[in-house]
Chains A and B, each alone.
Chain A
Amino acid sequence: DTAVSQTPKYLVTQMGNDKSIKCEQNLGHDTMYWYKQDSKKFLKIMFSYNNKELIINETVPNRFSPKSPDKAHLNLHINSLELGDSAVYFCASSPEGSSGNTIYFGEGSWLTVV
């Protein structure tokens, strides 16, 4: 059973399109995250939600809009895609907060904007 699952795994799309990546966790965790990994493998947090409420928004362009319909889901919608949005996007979850608790990551969504 996959603990944190995200779809699609691969996505190739044209500049200017709007796309969504979906994420679900079946671990019963309260906190969910989106991280971005760039072409140099550098990982940076984008958003964090706790029980459907936004708690971290790390200076991400407002073309990116996370939505959490319930605490088990955190979807990422991206408007007007740009070439620089090409990256791997990781969804993750943890028990309340991350202090000392393990963060569990999904397998990643490889987004290529052409």
Chain B
Amino acid sequence: GNSVTQMEGPVTLSEEAFLTINCTYTATGYPSLFWYVQYPGEGLQLLLKATKADDKGSNKGFEATYRKETTSFHLEKGSVQVSDSAVYFCALNDGNKLVFGAGTILRVKS
């Protein structure tokens, strides 16, 4: 079945550092891809998405590009802030549901 693999965390960075969280997927066909973020004690919010190959999703300084050749959707941000500390989930749509990766905890220190 379809699945998503994310890099294990926690990822600890200093403020203003460059962020990459790796995400690769296994799927039949070309699913839509998503990044969701969960801030401490809160629910899941959509961060960005891409619905076809070579699409780039972007929001709040984060971006990810749908790479069909490498089946990847890595999340990047040029300069992280303390307020970006959260759990980040990569996901793909599989029929009528989302399949999530295991989540990556990001900690940003001032």
Contacts and interface: CB of A to CB of B under 8 A. Distances in A.
A98 B43 contact: no
Interface residues of B, number: 24
A104 B87 CA distance: 17
B89 A55 contact: no
B98 A100 contact: no
Nearest to B9: A41
Interface stretch (A42-50, A65-73, A79-87): A42-50
Given A42-B103, A43-B103, A105 B96 contact: no
Contacts of B89: 43
A98 B87 contact: no
B27 to A, nearest CB: 12
A45 B87 contact: no
Given A100-B51, A105-B44, A105-B45, A48 B103 contact: no
B93 A99 contact: yes
Contacts of A56: 96-97
A90 B44 contact: yes
15 contacts: A31-B96, A33-B97, A41-B105, A42-B100, A42-B102, A43-B44, A45-B99, A56-B96, A98-B95, A99-B31, A99-B96, A100-B51, A100-B93, A105-B43, A105-B45
